[in-house]
Chain A
């Protein structure tokens, strides 16, 4: 009995240790601004914003075709350029892929260190506007019909903190 209790405590301590280590990761909870040379030179607008939500069915692995998906952001800070309002809608190309693996033959000039899109994350992004001038292809827009204003095109996306 005593031996079993020891094993359980050991597992709890091990889990906590792993949790602490994981939070020190580069792209996780570490204090990062998301700034890098790509971020400050690409696009015409640069913001730090919170990803408000991921609508159901917006992001999943697509077998054949490449789409951009529109996501909603709450902007905290505009580092460069100008935006309309605090809420913006941003198109990400093939968001089921890590940003570093997203560029392809068709869309070359995108990237960043973000691996997985999750609601509530803070992203620092270099943007272009409007998306129609940057991307000619399928756009999955779950906000179609709502007043989204101009839709931005994400050129570079890094995980950041507020």
Chain B
């Protein structure tokens, strides 16, 4: 039986309209707004691969249709298929994971091969340590496990019996750091032990359910482990400030949910209730504050920022390190930039190294491969005038 011609026409016209509508609407809107027609930008620059990629990206990012429809489609995809898109991976019991972190974990040998093509973290870390040593400053490296390395059982039920996983690439780097004489704190082992010790469900997990970062419990475990290592090595002694703590509950929508940029998902999600312990000064009761004259500098990424400069403030790793050490610290934080950007920032702020005996360098595990700007070798800033460099022998016990 012959299909009516009208069906062919409707299907064809509908298909063509669907194909052309986004471009036509964008052109109409740009003309109405008196803006330059973005579609014609392709003729305004050299047709290089980079320019064409940038052109396509700009078309996509600034498309009115895309901005209006994308989040609705993503919401449908999330509700109907449990697919959270490029950046997030829904786990079990409402847990959300940052997809690049999961990819880092499962890439295994492929990731190691790829990493060898780019700058090697070991070279950057060893060079940094050597330069610090010339000034009599010790380096303690603190890689923070990805959430999925500590809670693989929340990612898939097939990992139900695992207390933690370490990717091949992370193990490889930790081994090589050890061989190179770089002092590291093994938070993978610390967190695995802490999980096994946790018998009371009220203690809460070491990482947040909706967020890629650690919980206040995770902060406490990390702070104790770092301070224990510093004291055991005799690099620094306890100070004299007996900081107090006070309860500081906060409500937080996780960063993994926020990065989806789908308002419908954020609106339906309940914020996570987090019981933070804010570190306060014993005399004034004021929240902990850094001291630029401290003998200890802490550098790192958003794992230092969370609870510290985010609400409730002074309740993150920096404040809790200060509490355990009974002395204030100096800190420098670069969100997502612990591999290279934070050391570039240190180069621009030489005063931060004044009076230092120890540098604690925190970075999240996935940055071994995905660190912003890779792992560049960055020199230390010139010694500020009037400062005498110490030899490594002056480090003391």
Contact = CB atoms under 8 A, between A and B. Distances in A.
Contact of B302 (A29, A65, A116, A139): A65
Contacts of A60: 57
Interface string B359-383: 0000000000000110010100000
B69 interface: no
Interface in B3-21: none
Contacts of A24: 34
Lowest 6 CB-CB distances: which A-B pairs, in order? A28-B36, A22-B37, A65-B335, A25-B36, A65-B336, A138-B337
18 contacts: A22-B36, A22-B37, A25-B35, A25-B36, A28-B36, A29-B36, A56-B50, A64-B258, A64-B336, A65-B336, A119-B45, A132-B348, A137-B334, A139-B341, A139-B345, A140-B372, A140-B373, A144-B347
Nearest to A56: B50
Given A115-B62, A116-B58, A139 B344 contact: yes
A67 B373 CA distance: 12
Contacts of A116: 38, 58, 62
A115 B344 contact: no
A19 B335 contact: no
A13 interface: no
A66 B372 CA distance: 12
B341 A138 contact: yes
Contact of A23 (B36, B344, B372): B36
Nearest to B43: A19
A4 to B, nearest CB: 18
Question: Interface centre among B27, B36, B57, by most A CB within 10 Å?
Answer: B36
A18 B37 contact: yes
A131 B43 CA distance: 35
Contacts of A29: 36
| Range of interface residues on B (Cβ < 8 Å) | 35 or more
A63 interface: yes
Nearest to A132: B348
B35 A144 contact: no
A144 B378 contact: yes
A3 interface: no
Contact of B35 (A19, A26, A61): A26
B27 A18 contact: yes
Contacts of A56: 50
Given A25-B34, A63-B87, A138 B334 contact: yes
Given A28-B35, A28-B36, A144-B347, 13 more contacts: A19-B40, A63-B87, A64-B259, A65-B335, A67-B337, A67-B341, A115-B35, A137-B334, A138-B334, A138-B336, A139-B348, A140-B373, A144-B344
